[in-house]
Structure 1
Amino acid sequence: MKKIYFSVLLFAIQWLHAQEPNHQLSSIPDALRTNANAIIVLDDNQIILENPYKMTVTKHKIITVLNKNGNNYAHINVGYDNHSSVKSIKATIYNAFGFEIKKIKSSEINDYSATSGNSLYTDDRIKNYEYLPLNYPYTIDYTSVEESENTAFYPRWYPIQGYYVSTIDSHFTVKYPADQFKINVSEKYFSGYSFSNTSAKGYIEYRANKLNAIVREPYSPDFTNFAPQVLLAPSKFNLSGVHGEANNWQEFGTWMYNNLLLGRDQLSIQTKAEIKKLVSGIDDPIERARKVYAYMQNKTHYISVQIGVGGWKPIAADEVDRMKYGDCKALVNYTQALLKEADVNTYYTVVHADDKKDIDKDFIAMQGNHAILFLPTKKDTVWLECTTQAKPFGYMGTFTNDRDVLVVKPEGGEIVHTKVYAFLENYQNSVGNYRIDENGNLKGVLNMESSGIQFENHFQISNEPHDEIVKFYKSYFEKINNLTIVNFDNQTNTLNNKFNESVTIEASNYAQKSGDRMLLTLNAFSQNTSVPKRIINRQLPVEIQNGYIDRDSITINLPKNYKIESLTNSEKISSEFGTYSIEVIKLNDNTLIYKRNLRVYQGNYPKEAYEAFRKFKKDILSKDQTKTILIKL
C-alpha cells in the first residue's frame, strides 16, 4: 500500500511540475491535430536591427511531433558564417503529458560545415540538433539567438510552415531605426486568413492563431505560391561587408554588377587565343555561342563553392579556367567571359530554380537560388544553363523555364520572363509496330521523338548505365506484363533539342486467350497509367504547369489464323483541360493502324474543377484500354 501511495504522490508532484503551458498534448484542440504530423505550438520570431548593418534574431519555438513524418519540424538548424554568430541555443524535450524528458546539453549540439556532397568548400556552418524519439508524441521547446552583419536577407514569416503541420501561435516582430532606413513589407496570399498586424513606425508585428494543417493535393501549385507569408526588404543592407542601397531593380542590378561581378571576367592570354581561333570565320553570333558553350561544357564541371560576399560573388573566370570547376555563379561568369571574347554579348541572370517561382518584381531584395546566362539576339532569346555537361545549347527545361528572373546589366537590373514551352513544342511522337502470334505473344519496336518539356523526361537516360535504362523502359511500359527489353538506342539532336529513341520489346501472353477467342488491348505502348486520387472537399486550386502533346501511330500485325470479331473504330474526348482521340484503321484482315492523339493544356483552375479534371484523366485511361476481340478461324 505504501508503495502505491508513494507512486501516486510522485506522479502528482510530476504533474504539478509539468503544468507549464503548451507542453501537453491534451491542451491542443482536436481540430489542430487533424491531418497534422506536427503542431507548431509556438513560433515566436523577434528581429532587432541596431542599424542597417547589424541584426539580432531571437527565436522561441515549441513543436509537438505526433509521428515520425513530423520529425523534421523538430530539428534545430541555425546557420552562421564569418559575418554572423550563434550566441546561444537552449532546448528541452517533453513527453505527451508535459513531463520533461531531457535538457539538451551544448555538447549534444553538432557544429559542422554546410558543405554538401557536391560542394568543394564553403564558409557556411550549421549548429544542428536532431532528437531521436523512442515514443510519440513528444514536444521540443527551444530558443536560439543569432547575431549577423548580413542584412541583405531578412527572415521571412511563414505562419504555416508546410504540408501536414498546424499552427497554434505564430508571432513575428521587427524593431528598427526608421530614421536611418526603411523596410518594405510584402504580404502574400493572405486571402482567406485573419492575421493581426499591429505595425507602427520602426516596428513591424504580425500574429496568427489556430491555423489548421494543409493536406498535399495532386496538381496543386507549389507551396510557396499559395502559403501566406510576409517578406521584408530593407532600403539599406550589408552583404558580408559590402554595403548596399537600392529602391528599384535598376539600382539593385547596378549594385550587384559593381560589387559582385565587375572585374571577375579576366581570362588568360592562352584561353583568349583559343576562343578567337574556335569562332574564327563564324558570322552568326548564335553559332559562335554554340561553339563556346560546347567548349565550356567539355572543359568544366559543376561543384558548389559558397564563399565570397555571402556566397553570391562568383569565382573569377581565370580561376575557373585554371581549376576547371565552379558553382552556378562561377560557371555563368566564366561562360560570359568566354562569350565576350567571341564577341557575343550576354548577361548574368538570377533565378529561382527548380520550384516554379518568380523573382518578385514588386519586392526589391536579394532573391533567387541559381544563376543562368541571358543571350538576347535580334531573332530570339537564348537562355544558357551552365552547370550541365550534357544538356544541349539553349535548353532550359522545367528547372528554370516560364518565370520572372533578374537580368544584371552594367546599367542596372531588369526583370525578364524566361522561355515558355508552348504545348505545341512539348510533344512526343511515337511511331512503331508490333506483332501478335497465335499464342498471344508480342514482339514490337517503338521509335520516339521527344521535344520541349518532354525532352527532359527521356533525355535523363542518355548517360545512364545499361541496367538503369532497362529499368526506365520497364517502368515506361509498366502496363505490359512479362516484358523483356530486347534492345534500345537513343540519340540527342543538339541543334533542335530533340531526343530520339528506338526500343525493341517482347512480352509473352500479352493478348489474353479464352477458348477460340483472343482479347487484345490495342494501345500496347502508351497507356495513360495514372488517375489522380479522389479528394472529398478539395481545398487547393488546380495547376497544370506544362501542356503537352502525345501522338502515336502504331501498326499492328494480327495472327493469320485469327480474324477480327469486334473492333472500335474511333473515340474522342474534349474538355477545358485538353483533347483526346483514337482512330483504328483496318488495312486488311490482319493489319491495323492505331492512331492516338492526346493534348493537355497548361492552365490554372479553381478547386471546383478538380473532379472534372480527374474525370478527363479517368476517361483517357478507359479509352487507352480499348480492346478488340479476335476469333480463331
Structure 2
Amino acid sequence: MLSFAGICSYAQGEYDVSKIPAALTENAALVVRNEEMVYEVKGLGTARQDYKTAVTILNKKGEGASNMYEHYDKFSNVYNLKATLYDAKGAKIKEYRSSDFKDGSAVSGGTLYSDSRIKYMEFLYASFPYTIEYSYSVDYSGILNYPSWNPASSWAMAVEKSSYTFKIPKSFSFKRLNSVGLKTDSTAVKDLMQYQWSCTAVPALVHEPMSTGLKTVTPWVSLAPNQFEYDSSKANIENWQNLGIWLYQLSSGSQVLPESAKSKVQALIKDAKSPKEKIKRLYRYLQENTRYVGVQLGIGGFTPIVAEKVSTVNYGDCKGLSNYMKAMLQEAGIKSNLVVIGNGMPSLNRKYASMNQANHMILCVPLEKDTTWLECTSSYDPTGFIGNNNSGRTVLLVTEDGGKLVETPLLNASANYMKRSTKVNLNEEGSADIQIDTKYANAQYEDNIGLMLIEPVTQRKNIMNSLGIPNMEISSLKYTQPDKDQPLLNESISLKSSQLLTGGGGKMFITMNLLNRQENTLTPIEKRKTPFSLNYGYLDEDEVIYTIPKGFKVEFIPKDILIESEFGKYTAKVVAKDNTLIYTRTKSIINKQYPAEKYNDYVAFHKKLYQADKQKGILAKIE
C-alpha cells in the first residue's frame, strides 16, 4: 500500500517548471508531472484505492485541471485528503488538509433522489504557471466496476509519468481492455496478483476537429470484474448473458399495476385495431401523464421503480418509466423487453461485458413482423423514434433467458432529411417578399423540434440569428408536427427584406443559395493523429424560386455543379423559366468513422461545397 507521509517535503523544488522537458510543454496547457494510482481488490464487494498526482498548469486553458473532485456514496469513503500549491519555481505556497475540502451533493438538476456526493477543492491562483499536488484514499464497500486508467485524457495535456497498479486475489478473475502495444507487468505477491501499467513522456496533442477520441493514440486500460457484490446483491458478469440475468432479476416482479391503472389501460386500448395501435395509445398516455426525474440510490441506480409507484406519483427515471411502459403493455397482452444502452456512447463491446458502457434504458417491443423501440423519457418523441444518440448501436436486451446483444435501427442519410421550398418575389429596388417552407425528418427533426417548444419571442430571435438574410423583418412564423406518430417537423416563415440584393450600374447580383450555405472552410492538418466522423449523415434538398422584377432580364446564371466523393454528393442547378430563376441544390453527407489520413481529403471536399454555395447570378436592367 502506498504511503503519502512526507510527500510534500519530498516534492519541494521537484516541481520547478524549468525541469519539464521542452517536448512536453509544446502545445500543452497542462502537464501531469507524476500520477500514481493503486487499487487493491480485497473481496467481491470491498476494495481500497490510493491516488496521488501533481499537475502543472501552464496557462489559463489548463486551469480547470487544477480542481480536485472525488465522488463517493454510501458504499465508499474518501479520506486522507491532502493538497499543496506550488509556484513556478516549485516553492510551496500553501498546504491543504481534509478540513479544507468542501463536501456537497453531486445531484444534477434533473435528479430528484441520489446518494452521490462529492469532496472537492477549487484552487484559485492567478500567476501561471503553478503546480497542484493532491492525494486521497477511498475504501469501497460495494463494487460494480474497477477504475480505468487514462492518463492523457484531454487535448493539450502532456504526461511526464503515470502508473496504475492493480492488485487482486489469485482466486478472482477479471477482464481487461487496453491500448495497442501497452506493456503489462504482472507479478505474484503471496495470495495476490499484481498488474502494473505505466507511461512516460506523452506529448500534448493539439485539438483535432470532429475527432472520435484520443484512445487510438494514447495509453489506456479498462478493467471490469467477472463477479461482484453491491448493495447486498451478488452477480456473475463474465458475459453479457449473465449481466442480463442479473438485471432481469432486479426488475422481476416490478411490473404489477394497481387495479385503477389496469382499468385505464383497458379503456385506452378498447377499440384499437392492432398491436401497433395499442402501443401508440399507451405510449402517448405515458408521455402525457408522466415526467422524467433521476433516481439513483444504491442498487436503485440499476433497479427500476416499481410500476405501481410510478403509476401513483407520475414520475420516474429512465428505468422506472421504461418499466412502467412495459407493465402497461403487459396488461395489454404485449410482450416487451427493457434495453440497456449507452445514450451518445459507443456501441457495447460484444466481447467485454461491463457495467460502465451504458448510461440509459429504453424499451423494445418485438412484434411478429417488426420491432418498435420506445424512448420513455421523452414527452414529445413519436412512437418508435428513439433519437440519433440511441440509433445504430449495439445494446443489451434484458430477457428472461439473460442478456442478448442486438442492434437499434440506424438512421441513414436519406432518412435524416431537410426539404425546403423558398419563394423570393424581388422588386426593382432589390427588396423582396420571401416565403420559406421546410420539412425536417428524424435526426434533423430532433435538432429542430426544440424550436416548436419555446416561446414565440425566442423563436423569432433564433430565426433572425440563423437565417442570415440582410435587413429582414419576420411577418409570420409557425412550427407544426402534422403527425405525432412521425418524426417530422414543418416550419413556415414569411418575411420581408428591405435590401436583399446588391448591385449597381443597372445590374443586381443574386447569391443563388439563399438560406442553406456552407459558411466556412476547414483547415488542413498535417499528420493528423485521430479518426474523425460527423454527428450523423443527412440529406438536404433546397429549391429557391426567384421571381424576376419587371424591367430586368437574366444576364448570367452559373453552370450546373456536381461534386462527388466518399464523403457525399452535392448538386446545384439554375434554370431560367418564364420570369423566374429556379435554383435547386442537393447535399447528401455520408457519416461513418474515417481514418486520420482521410481528413485533408474531407477538408478539400468541404472547401468545394463552400465555393459552390457562393455561386451568383446576375440580373440586368432592360435598356
Whether TM-score is above 0.5 comes out as yes
Q: Which amino acid aligns with 1:115?
A: V
Q: Which amino acid aligns with 1:509?
A: Q
Q: Distance in 1 between matches of 2:201 and 2:134?
A: 20
Q: For the Cα contact (< 8 Å) 1:22–1:41, is it kept in 2?
A: no
Q: For the Cα contact (< 8 Å) 1:152–1:234, is it kept in 2?
A: yes
Output aligned runs, 1:21-170, within 5 Å.
Answer: 22-170=14-162
Q: Distance in 2 between matches of 1:296 and 1:19?
A: 59
2:283 to 278, 281, 293: 293
Q: For the Cα contact (< 8 Å) 2:524–2:599, is it kept in 1?
A: no
Q: Percent identity?
A: 30
In the alignment, does 2:191 pair up with 1:204? no
Can you list the C-alpha shifts for 1:65-92, whole angstroms capped at 9, x where unaligned?
1222222222211111112111221111
Name the counterpart of 2:554.
564
In the alignment, does 2:165 pair up with 1:173? yes
Unaligned runs of 5+ in 1: 1-15
Q: For the Cα contact (< 8 Å) 1:196–1:208, is it kept in 2?
A: no
Q: Distance in 2 between matches of 1:19 and 1:121?
A: 42
Name the counterpart of 2:254.
264
Q: Distance in 2 between matches of 1:203 and 1:221?
A: 32
In the alignment, does 2:587 pair up with 1:595? no
Question: 1:108 deviation in Å?
Answer: 2.2
Q: Distance in 1 between matches of 2:99 and 2:141?
A: 26
2:475 to 464, 481, 486: 486
Question: 1:207 deviation in Å?
Answer: 0.6
Secondary structure class of the residue paired with 2:451: coil
Structure 1 runs (4+) greater than 6 angstroms displaced = 16-19
Q: Distance in 2 between matches of 1:494 and 1:622?
A: 39
1:240 to 231, 239, 251: 231
Residues 1:71 and 1:314: Cα distance change in structure 2 (over 3 Å) = farther
2:415 to 420, 425, 431: 425
Name the counterpart of 2:386.
396
2:176 to 181, 185, 201: 185
Unaligned runs of 5+ in 2: 1-7
Residues 1:461 and 1:146: Cα distance change in structure 2 (over 3 Å) = same
Secondary structure class of the residue paired with 1:209: strand
Q: Which amino acid aligns with 1:563?
A: K
Secondary structure class of the residue paired with 1:605: coil
1:537 to 523, 527, 532: 527
In the alignment, does 2:348 pair up with 1:359? yes
Name the counterpart of 2:569.
579
Q: RMSD in angstroms over aligned alpha carbons?
A: 1.9
Secondary structure class of the residue paired with 2:224: strand
Residues 1:19 and 1:542: Cα distance change in structure 2 (over 3 Å) = closer
Name the counterpart of 1:497.
487
Secondary structure class of the residue paired with 1:462: helix
Name the counterpart of 1:253.
244
Q: For the Cα contact (< 8 Å) 1:569–1:585, is it kept in 2?
A: no
Secondary structure class of the residue paired with 1:295: helix
Question: 1:310 deviation in Å?
Answer: 5.8
Q: Distance in 2 between matches of 1:449 and 1:225?
A: 39
Q: Distance in 2 between matches of 1:254 and 1:301?
A: 28
TM-score by length of 2: 0.94
Q: Which amino acid aligns with 2:610?
A: L
In the alignment, does 2:499 pair up with 1:515? no
Output aligned runs, 1:442-457, within 5 Å.
Answer: 442-457=432-447
Q: Which amino acid aligns with 2:183?
A: S
Q: Distance in 2 between matches of 1:238 and 1:345?
A: 31
Question: 1:377 deviation in Å?
Answer: 2.1
Count of paired positions: 609
Output aligned runs, 1:4-19, within 5 Å.
Answer: none
TM-score by length of 1: 0.93
Q: Distance in 1 between matches of 2:326 and 2:13?
A: 58
Q: Distance in 2 between matches of 1:200 and 1:505?
A: 74
Q: For the Cα contact (< 8 Å) 2:480–2:491, is it kept in 1?
A: yes
Question: 1:220 deviation in Å?
Answer: 1.8
Name the counterpart of 1:8.
none
In the alignment, does 2:341 pair up with 1:371? no
Can you list the C-alpha shifts for 1:434-479, whole angstroms capped at 9, x where unaligned?
112111112211111111211112212110111221232223312x
Q: For the Cα contact (< 8 Å) 2:214–2:530, is it kept in 1?
A: no
Q: For the Cα contact (< 8 Å) 2:153–2:214, is it kept in 1?
A: no
Q: For the Cα contact (< 8 Å) 1:199–1:206, is it kept in 2?
A: no
Q: Which amino acid aligns with 1:618?
A: K
Question: 1:173 deviation in Å?
Answer: 0.9
Q: Which amino acid aligns with 1:406?
A: L
Secondary structure class of the residue paired with 1:70: helix
Q: Distance in 2 between matches of 1:225 and 1:393?
A: 37
Q: For the Cα contact (< 8 Å) 1:18–1:98, is it kept in 2?
A: no
Q: Distance in 2 between matches of 1:310 and 1:121?
A: 10
Question: 1:432 deviation in Å?
Answer: 2.2
Q: Distance in 2 between matches of 1:499 and 1:365?
A: 38
Name the counterpart of 1:463.
453
